[in-house]
Amino acid sequence: MSEPTVGDVADWWGTAVSRIAPNVIELRGRPVQDLIGSTSFAGVIWLMLRGDTPTPGQERLLEAALVSSVDHGPHAPSIAVARMAATCGVGLNNAVATGVNLLGDVHGGAGEQCVALLAEIADGAEPQEVVARWRARSKYLPGFGHRFHTVDPRRDPLLTLVDQAAADGVVDGSYLRAARAVEQLIAPVPINIDGCTAVVYGELGFPPPLARGLFVLSRSVGILAHAWEESGQGRRNKGPMPPTILPTQIGDA
Amino acid sequence: MSEPTVGDVADWWGTAVSRIAPNVIELRGRPVQDLIGSTSFAGVIWLMLRGDTPTPGQERLLEAALVSSVDHGPHAPSIAVARMAATCGVGLNNAVATGVNLLGDVHGGAGEQCVALLAEIADGAEPQEVVARWRARSKYLPGFGHRFHTVDPRRDPLLTLVDQAAADGVVDGSYLRAARAVEQLIAPVPINIDGCTAVVYGELGFPPPLARGLFVLSRSVGILAHAWEESGQGRRNKGPMPPTILPTQIGDA
Amino acid sequence: MSEPTVGDVADWWGTAVSRIAPNVIELRGRPVQDLIGSTSFAGVIWLMLRGDTPTPGQERLLEAALVSSVDHGPHAPSIAVARMAATCGVGLNNAVATGVNLLGDVHGGAGEQCVALLAEIADGAEPQEVVARWRARSKYLPGFGHRFHTVDPRRDPLLTLVDQAAADGVVDGSYLRAARAVEQLIAPVPINIDGCTAVVYGELGFPPPLARGLFVLSRSVGILAHAWEESGQGRRNKGPMPPTILPTQIGDA
Amino acid sequence: MSEPTVGDVADWWGTAVSRIAPNVIELRGRPVQDLIGSTSFAGVIWLMLRGDTPTPGQERLLEAALVSSVDHGPHAPSIAVARMAATCGVGLNNAVATGVNLLGDVHGGAGEQCVALLAEIADGAEPQEVVARWRARSKYLPGFGHRFHTVDPRRDPLLTLVDQAAADGVVDGSYLRAARAVEQLIAPVPINIDGCTAVVYGELGFPPPLARGLFVLSRSVGILAHAWEESGQGRRNKGPMPPTILPTQIGDA
């Protein structure tokens, strides 16, 4: 083995995402000064994750999907833990990180799994066969069904946007057709928000794990807004129940 | 003390950020379906944090600031730890949370502190007096000076946008004037990116802690992009140095 | 500036905590094989944080303090968020990290602050003056007062152990005297668990921040036990309230 | 559906781990005051995770395993990120949480997987068949092989302790025999620390996920010690490379 060199260290940290040099910042090869003022935040999200820039039609779909999943209230564990963290004497960034940390396979992974499921159908597999195979693995079909909503208010606007984008040739519509085939097959279980955003991300060509990645960016907004609101309310060490419920009342598991 | 009620529990989790009911999702009082397709992601960030919607001019400034700080390469600890996390067998959300967790008072707090500093000057205090007071507290003046950049490439585009916005009556320019006064006072130490975004966030009326909050949302994009790239490179348990550097070579502290 | 070398990188990561080389692991200069089987876990905690080994009397006090604060039930936000995380599809380590992340200045910092407070009195300051000064800063006197307990069941066993240790010359008793002086001064507000462990850690010579560090190690046990129990109960995305409480019932903040 | 009650909320948070009431703290049914001063920290770890107390022989094995994996230096990502976090202006608890968050399937999961692997053999399966099946799934056999150590210095002391415990009837030796059978089969690839602690945890009857849980408790000690050392060295925003390595030198990935 030859002696290690400083170049080995630099290679170890090599990246195609950005290049930083004195007075130079390039994101995916573009000088940052060319992006500021001309590119939207959503456009830069696309650029950073994929290396190119979206067309206006693609960007419109991405914005819509990012907007749709920012929040689902304090019943969502990611939101609740961020609010609790904000009362414990940590930084606002730590409160956000606490919430994001919970967007795991069960809480944040449904979109990722649903892109993978729809991809199988978009690639030519029979919906019935695909649904049967996924259901054999888990009773939860990712992207379908919801505890609260029989018709999720985000469903129609998102799917309509994809419909239009397919008509305009922005996307090819294969994920939308796949999702509708599944929805018909398992009626009356409806497509949910993870399913709708999976349609968008799949149509746009994002690989499944980035469906979770994009959900993280979107939900971070709600997590931050809730942590910020809570931090202004003066509570300390907020538990899941108000102090009026005595610990003695907690049942034995 | 009267008996606790279910209402006590519901009040404990009360919020003005969002309202969720069967088939209803409202963000700051607006049905989510009215936002999807019509509001940008940056616009919804503003809505969630402040409760109203930005004017086009305000939104343009917010987009620019969010775009400007997405990434500063693997020398930044937040980026490096997310890349390392991505090789340890955790979810992509856990990798992002790991990076965000590091955006503390030193790494992510300069913008927050700089908004507070500039606010004092914008409110009428003498720049010289304010700078002296802050310098007595710490040798680092938040928002000014940088290890790598003598002129940060993000400075001119951002400040020019604020200049235009002040000319158009979108903002009043008081934070921009304050930043320029400080820059002149401590020349040749330049304003840095935290200072430039502090000018934007201050002009837009965000309270100082939200400068950190917005930086968290912005930097999350770079953190995600780097974690995602690293996760495709097949490394396991990536340390800070390549394995060619033997542990025996590590010096005693 | 001369060229960077591999040695610079190795120095950057230099440490006196451990030395790792092929077939060699030393913790604070001691071969790990000499510790396994002969040193307790608590003894190695002391070694790693301080560089030497405790006497049996010191170790006994450290064990007692570590035992005393492992858990305070699901009303504690650190415990609750770990249980919630365990239902979201993340690893058990991520659930523990989520809980530990909440042990900030308010939730985990009281012991740290109380060591600092008692140190002032142990070093000769007047209790009355010290208490007045701390109370001017915050209405919460760290280490004193509790929501639930009028007499914390952990108080007497811990203080008795310190009493004995002082009688045996293991510690000098100055932190214990300081705590009793404060308790008398502000009666009937009692010393709480943070105060009792602060007495132990102060007597043993730990600097204040390590009082929080040791609390983190101790509470991690309860956090892990709760996350593990919850992970066996089959819930998914556990929120702070049971699903029987509808989101519609959540009050406006 | 009947109206929700406060009892529903209390049941939602029910637990068998601890009971907290005014002036009462019970851990797994034992008053905490009976444990302070009489039970070791390791003993309470066992109690909290399993509900009963270990025999002295069992406790000795548990202490040894916990001691053996506290640290593996700054090449380990969990240690490095905690040191980096400690320079970013976050609490010591946040730095520890950052390190623990990285102990995922790849970094912290080998012990968990190895307990599962050895359990198959201990339960009667053929070593050759088990190894072949695990190797078909991944080229890494959990618990065997190491980058640095040909003979891990922790191997002999740990396995000798188990040997003695088996001779004394403390454990039945089936996991030790399984590990030795695998080691012989794949020689010269040696058993590593995850394998050795898996033998201990398997012999003691811990389910596989708790092997990771116990590793988290053990490694937290090293993570804390390193974060604490780093926090005293005055660095700010410590990156993975020293600043003498310019960002321009970082290679393109």
Q: What is the mean pLDDT of residues B27-31?
A: 98
Beta-carbon neighbour count of residue A38 at 10 Å? 12
- Cis (ω within 30 of 0) for the bond into A188? yes
The reply to whether residue C253 touches residue A229, judged by beta carbons under 8 angstroms, is: yes
Q: What is the mean pLDDT of residues A195-203?
A: 98
Rounded mean pLDDT, A201-206? 98
pLDDT band at residue C150 using 50, 70 and 90 as cut-offs: confident
Which chains touch D (3+ CB pairs under 8 A)? A, B, C
What is the number of H-type helices and E-type strands within chain D?
12, 3
pLDDT category at B248 given cuts 50, 70, 90 is low
Q: To the nearest whole percent, how much of chain B has pLDDT over 90?
A: 85
The answer for B 65-124 residues in CB contact with D (under 8 A) is 73-78, 80-81, 84-85, 87-90, 94, 97-98, 101-109
C 116-175 residues with CB < 8 A to A: 140, 147-148
Q: Given this model, what pLDDT does residue C10 score? A: 83
Say whether pLDDT at A8 is over 90.
no
Question: Is the pLDDT assigned to residue C204 strictly greater than 90?
Answer: yes
- Residues in contact with C253: Cβ distance below 8 Å, sequence separation at least 6, in sequence order: A229, A233, B14, B15, B16, B17
User: pLDDT tens digits, chain D, 253 residues: what are they?
Assistant: 467 788 888 889 999 999 998 899 999 999 999 999 999 999 999 999 999 999 999 999 999 999 999 999 999 999 999 999 999 999 999 999 999 999 999 999 999 999 999 999 999 999 999 999 999 998 889 999 877 788 889 999 999 999 999 999 999 999 999 999 999 999 999 999 999 999 999 999 999 999 999 999 999 999 999 999 999 999 999 999 988 887 666 655 4
Specify burial of residue A169 (Cβ count, 10 A radius: 0-12, 13-18, 19+): exposed
Above 60 in pLDDT, residue A253? no
* C-alpha to C-alpha distance for A22 and A142, rounded to whole angstroms: 46
CA distance B41 to B238: 34
Tokens 């140095």 identify what position?
B241
Give the pLDDT score at C202: 98
Q: Torsions phi, psi of D3, nearest 5?
A: -60, 140
3-state secondary structure of C35: helix
Q: What is the pLDDT of residue A2?
A: 66
Q: By CA distance, what is D98's nearest residue in B?
A: B98
D83 contacts D89 by C-beta, under 8 angstroms: no
Dump pLDDT digits (tens) for D128-158: 999 999 999 988 899 998 777 888 899 999 9
Provide the pLDDT for residue A251.
59
Query: Between chains, do B252 and C101 touch, taking CB under 8 Å as contact?
Result: no
Q: Provide the token pair at A45.
A: 């999200």
User: CA nearest D21: which of D13, D12, D31, D11?
Assistant: D31
From D237's Cα to the closest Cα of chain B, the distance in A is: 6
Whole-number average pLDDT of chain B: 94
CB contact under 8 A, A253 and C233: yes
Between chains, do C247 and B20 touch, taking CB under 8 Å as contact? Answer: yes
Q: Please tell me which chains touch A, using 3 or more CB pairs under 8 Å as the contact test.
A: B, C, D
| C-alpha–C-alpha distance, residues D44 and D27, integer Å | 9
pLDDT at D101: 98
Q: Which of B12, B149, B230, B237 to mutate to test the interface with D (most CBs of D within 10 A)?
A: B237
A-interface mutation test, from C11, C71, C107, most A Cβ less than 10 A away: C107
Measured over the CA atoms of residue D201, residue D205, residue D206 and residue D208, the dihedral's sign is positive
The Cβ of residue B105 has, within 10 Å, a number of other Cβ atoms equal to 17
Mean pLDDT of A59-64: 98
Do C43 and D41 meet the contact criterion of CB atoms below 8 Å apart?
no
CA dihedral in degrees (D85, D91, D95, D96; nearest 10)? 170
Q: Point out the residue among B10, B20, B90 whose CB comes nearest to the CB of C251.
A: B10
Domain extents in chain C: 17-53, 103-220
Q: Select from A208, C125, C43 the least CA-distant residue to C116.
A: C125
Of C75, C89, C253, the CB nearest to A107: C89
Per-residue pLDDT for C2 more than 70? no
Does residue B253 surpass a pLDDT of 80?
no
Give B191's strand partners.
B144
A127–chain B nearest CA distance, Å: 27
Chains contacting C (3+ CB pairs below 8 angstroms): A, B, D
Do C73 and D20 make contact, defined as CB atoms within 8 angstroms? Answer: yes
From the candidates A1, A35, A70, A237, which should be mutated to test the interface with B, based on the most B CB atoms within 10 A? A70
In percent, the amount of chain A with pLDDT more than 90 equals 85
B-chain CB neighbours of C240 within 8 Å are 13
Residue-wise pLDDT for C59-74, tens only, equals: 999 999 999 999 999 9
* pLDDT surpassing 60 at residue B170: yes
For chain C, helix, strand, coil in percent to 5 are 55, 5, 40
- Local confidence band at C8 (pLDDT 50, 70, 90 cut-offs): confident
Of B9, B21, B253, the CB nearest to C245: B9
Q: So what's the architecture of A103-220 in CATH?
A: Orthogonal Bundle (1.10)
Torsion of CA A157, A159, A162, A166, to 10 degrees: -130
pLDDT at A184 over 70: yes
Closest approach of chain D CAs to the CA of B250, in angstroms? 9
pTM exceeds 0.90: yes
Q: Assess whether pLDDT exceeds 60 at residue C115.
A: yes
The pLDDT of residue A245 = 80
CB spacing of B245 vs C10 below 8 angstroms: yes
Task: Please check the confidence at residue B174 and state whether its pLDDT lies above 80.
Answer: yes
In this predicted model, what pLDDT tens digit does every residue of A141-180 receive, in sequence order? 999 987 778 888 999 999 999 999 999 999 999 999 999 9
What value does the mean pLDDT take over residues A97-124? 97
Residues C77, C186: contact at Cβ < 8 Å? no
Q: Could you tell me the two tokens for C157? A: 């066993």
Model confidence band, residue B7 (pLDDT cutoffs 50, 70, 90): confident
Handedness of CA B232, B233, B236, B240 (dihedral sign): negative
- The per-residue pLDDT of chain C, averaged, comes to 94
Interface test with D, best of C5, C17, C102 (most D CBs within 10 A): C17
pLDDT band per the 50, 70, 90 thresholds, residue C107: very high
Q: Please, which residues have CB within 8 angstroms of residue B61's CB and are 6 or more apart in sequence?
A: B161, B162, B165, B170, B171, B200, B203, B204
* pLDDT single digits (tens) D184-226: 999 999 999 999 999 999 999 999 999 999 999 999 999 999 9
Size of interface A-B (CB pairs under 8 A): 286
Written as one letter, the residue type at B43 is G
In this predicted structure, the answer to whether residue A22 has a pLDDT above a threshold of 70 is yes
CA angle C175, C180, C186 (to 5 degrees): 125
